[in-house]
Amino acid sequence: MQIARSHVLICGGTGCLSNNSMKLKDRLEEKLAELGIKDEIKIIMTGCFGLCAEGPIVVVYPEGSMYSRVSLKDIDTIAEEHLLKGRIVENLLITNRGEAYDEEGHQVENTDFFKRQKRVALRNCGRIDPENIDEYIAYDGYKALGKVLSEMTPQEVIDVVSASGLRGRGGAGFPTGKKWTFAAASKGDVKYVACNADEGDPGAFMDRSVLEGDPHSVLEAMAIAGYATGAHQGYIYVRAEYPTAVRRLNIAIKQAREYGLLGKNIFDSGFDFDIEIRLGAGAFVCGEETALMNSIEGKRGEPRPRPPFPAVKGIFGKPSMLNNVETYANICPIILNGAEWFASMGTEKSKGTKVFAVGGNINNTGLVEIEMGTPLREVIYDIGGGIPDGKKFKAAQTGGPSGGCIPASLIDTPMTYDDLSAIGSMMGSGGLIVMDEDNCMVDIAKFFLGFTVDESCGKCPPCRIGTKRMLEILEKITDGRGELEDIDKLEKLAKNIKASALCGLGQTAPNPILSTLRYFRDEYIAHVVDKKCPAGVCKKLIQIKINKDLCKSCGICAKTCPVACIRGEKKVPYEIDQTKCLKCGACLEKCPFKAIYKES
């Protein structure tokens, strides 16, 4: 076999795949064959690099040059210039915004986006080929499992996990060591461990990225969890909407079985462990642990009352333990580097790092992994690159439909479990949606409520009926029919649902309302009393108008309007027929003279 002199890593995460990175690979293969250097260059499809906004990403080693937004034409240039002649294509490189190209700055690790991150759970994403177990093994893969099986007792494993201070990364932040202790203490000859990969928060995609970029890290950690708690069977519950993740998981399980890293008598220790995949149909409630267990058993995905807790009576009535994907992804480094190493990162009560899926109105949309306790400001401005078009930061939403928002005044809040709960938000699974001055907070609350109403399983009345009633009140407010007492009614209802719903979905569903009421009550009042939407979002409360002095009667707006409600003629300013206007805003974007505006 010829040894490659250069490795080209192309991002094969879902973000870049949807940006045609597979076509880039095909094109590059063709081009290399054409240039006659096919045998010298190795092409590797990796997992997500995290910088989805700049995708598709291509990295060329040994130089470590990172190219962003690579088109089919660009890949030809990279092949001809960089790979054939060794000349780095400077104008395609990712460089720190506004900075000139420098020798080191183009390397993956030296960009602002990566420099400030600390990658533990995402350690292999974008570095290895997720479909090749050898590459995982090269970066210390399965060494933790080997160490555990040949040198440690189950209790020692649990002690290390407990001492590390790792807390569940799925949202609630329950100490992982405690969970493992309960499962290990539970009596029973058959036990199960499971992995919750039913990532459902709108805007969250870190679990998907771990499964796509480093599936073996989850398999290995599950085997370790099985050894620690006395289970021999693992289930990964993953949603069918993640086809790439499912495919790579299947490949990984097959490879691990071939190497004897799953199956009978692993590492000659007498320990047997195997993993099966269960596909979910995409119901949000199945991310709740008891609903998930029902779904694994083939039943309807509805939550069960607790107690009995899963550690006592879980999957098929047997003691079971469920951890989130990201939690598992942290296990192997903890075993290899020790509990002290992990505990040295983060804050007193929130150890280690956390992955956030940063989206919304921010420049560097993507995945970032930061040390716990990093202030939100750093995530948004230093790593995230700030808000596009110079707009003002208004709030960030964490925890998706179960979470709350962090207003601009609290932008220096350290990102930890406790600091976020204290201000009425939550860590959640790590979705971080950034909002600017053009977002209406009542509308945001309505959006999340709409989501929970759709996703409520209907088993308990507080959630089934209560969320629907809350949504109706919100709609009344955004339609301009709200009264002041509606706000009080909303708040009371929210508190009651929080106290009485059966599972986490219902108990947290009112959070978006409670937290927007807490920080943006004046916006609710503006909707109710003044019948105005300050951000100009709620359609019933705004009018789109043409400024007669600025209008040059060019007619572009009239051509753009989908309902043909704009009329005018040469030299006479155009006018919008308010009775027909849909308030879509299409004309507003197209007007070359900025003569069209929203009035609320």
Partner 1 sequence: MKSLAELAELRQKSLDKMNMRNTDTRERIVVGMATCGIAAGARPVMNTFVEEVNKRHLGDVSVGMTGCMGMCALEPMVDVYDADGTKTTYIHMTPEKAKRVVAEHIVNGQPVEEFTITAKDQNNA
Judged by beta carbon, residue 61 or residue 381, the one nearer partner 1 is: 61
- 3 lies in the binding site for partner 1 (CB under 8 A): yes
Judged by beta carbon, residue 71 or residue 132, the one nearer partner 1 is: 132
Judged by beta carbon, residue 127 or residue 208, the one nearer partner 1 is: 127
Judged by beta carbon, residue 132 or residue 421, the one nearer partner 1 is: 132
Tell me which residues in 44-73 interact with partner 1 (CB under 8 A): 61-64
Min CB(64)–partner 1 separation in Å:
4
Pick one of 29, 93, 116, 146: the residue that binds partner 1 (CB under 8 A). 146
Judged by beta carbon, residue 5 or residue 468, the one nearer partner 1 is: 5
- 100 lies in the binding site for partner 1 (CB under 8 A): no
Residues 74 and 88: their CA atoms lie apart, in Å, by 12
Part of the chain binding partner 1 (CB under 8 A), chosen from 93-101, 262-270, 374-382, 566-574: 262-270
Judged by beta carbon, residue 5 or residue 552, the one nearer partner 1 is: 5
Q: Which amino acid makes up residue 82? A: H
Count the helices and strands in the chain (H runs, E runs). 25, 18
Strand partners, 85: none
- 465 lies in the binding site for partner 1 (CB under 8 A): no
Segments in 65-126 forming alpha helices (H): 72-77, 85, 112-115
Q: Which residue reads 């267990």 in tokens?
A: 293
Residues 251 and 47: their CA atoms lie apart, in Å, by 14
Min CB(538)–partner 1 separation in Å:
51
Judged by beta carbon, residue 87 or residue 495, the one nearer partner 1 is: 87
Min CB(248)–partner 1 separation in Å:
18
- The three-class DSSP label of residue 257 is helix
Residues 6+ apart with CB under 8 A from 2: 39, 40
Judged by beta carbon, residue 261 or residue 503, the one nearer partner 1 is: 261
Part of the chain binding partner 1 (CB under 8 A), chosen from 255-263, 296-304, 317-325, 471-479: 255-263
Pick one of 23, 69, 147, 545: the residue that binds partner 1 (CB under 8 A). 147
Judged by beta carbon, residue 84 or residue 423, the one nearer partner 1 is: 84
Within its chain, how far is the Cα of 293 from the centroid? 23
- 251 lies in the binding site for partner 1 (CB under 8 A): no
Q: Which amino acid makes up residue 272? A: D
Part of the chain binding partner 1 (CB under 8 A), chosen from 233-241, 254-262, 275-283, 402-410: 254-262
- 412 lies in the binding site for partner 1 (CB under 8 A): no
Min CB(261)–partner 1 separation in Å:
5
Per-residue H/E/C for 335-350: HHHCHHHHHCCECCCC
Per-residue H/E/C for 570-598: CCEEEEECCCCCCCCCHHHHHCCCCCEEE
Neighbours of 100 (CB within 10 A): 8
Strands 320-324 and 271-280: unpaired
Pick one of 20, 71, 77, 107: the residue that binds partner 1 (CB under 8 A). 107
Pick one of 26, 99, 102, 134: the residue that binds partner 1 (CB under 8 A). 134
The burial class, CB within 10 Å (0-12 / 13-18 / 19+), for 471 is: buried
Angle ∠(393,397,401) on CA atoms, nearest 5: 155
Judged by beta carbon, residue 109 or residue 156, the one nearer partner 1 is: 109
Judged by beta carbon, residue 44 or residue 427, the one nearer partner 1 is: 44
Q: Between the CA of residue 427 and those of 171, 196, 402, 491, what are the distances in Å?
A: 6, 17, 10, 22
- 417 lies in the binding site for partner 1 (CB under 8 A): no
- 106 lies in the binding site for partner 1 (CB under 8 A): no
Residues 441 and 528: their CA atoms lie apart, in Å, by 14
Part of the chain binding partner 1 (CB under 8 A), chosen from 14-22, 126-134, 195-203, 539-547: 126-134
Min CB(427)–partner 1 separation in Å:
32
Strand partners, 457: none
Min CB(558)–partner 1 separation in Å:
55
Part of the chain binding partner 1 (CB under 8 A), chosen from 198-206, 257-265, 480-488, 547-555: 257-265
- 86 lies in the binding site for partner 1 (CB under 8 A): yes
Judged by beta carbon, residue 65 or residue 364, the one nearer partner 1 is: 65
Residues 6+ apart with CB under 8 A from 67: 57, 58, 59, 60, 74, 78, 89, 92, 93, 94
Part of the chain binding partner 1 (CB under 8 A), chosen from 139-147, 204-212, 330-338, 426-434: 139-147
Residues 490 and 510: their CA atoms lie apart, in Å, by 9
- 137 lies in the binding site for partner 1 (CB under 8 A): yes
Residues 6+ apart with CB under 8 A from 201: 399, 400, 401, 402, 428, 429, 431
Q: Which amino acid makes up residue 87? A: R
Judged by beta carbon, residue 6 or residue 421, the one nearer partner 1 is: 6
Residues 6+ apart with CB under 8 A from 367: 48, 50, 52, 122, 125, 205, 206, 209, 355, 356, 357, 358
Pick one of 33, 72, 138, 484: the residue that binds partner 1 (CB under 8 A). 138
- 142 lies in the binding site for partner 1 (CB under 8 A): yes
How many residues bind partner 1 (CB under 8 A)? The answer is 39
Q: 591: closest CA among 544, 539, 554?
A: 554
- 4 lies in the binding site for partner 1 (CB under 8 A): yes
Pick one of 20, 29, 38, 40: the residue that binds partner 1 (CB under 8 A). 40
Part of the chain binding partner 1 (CB under 8 A), chosen from 79-87, 94-102, 160-168, 315-323: 79-87
Question: Using omega within 30 degrees of 0 as the cis cutoff, is the peptide bond preceding 307 cis?
Answer: yes
Residues 230 and 343: their CA atoms lie apart, in Å, by 26
CB 43 within 8 A of CB 25: yes
- 118 lies in the binding site for partner 1 (CB under 8 A): no
- 267 lies in the binding site for partner 1 (CB under 8 A): yes
Pick one of 31, 127, 248, 278: the residue that binds partner 1 (CB under 8 A). 127
Binding residues for partner 1, rule: CB under 8 A, are 2-7, 9, 40, 61-64, 84-87, 107-109, 127-128, 134-135, 137-143, 146-147, 150, 259-261, 266-268
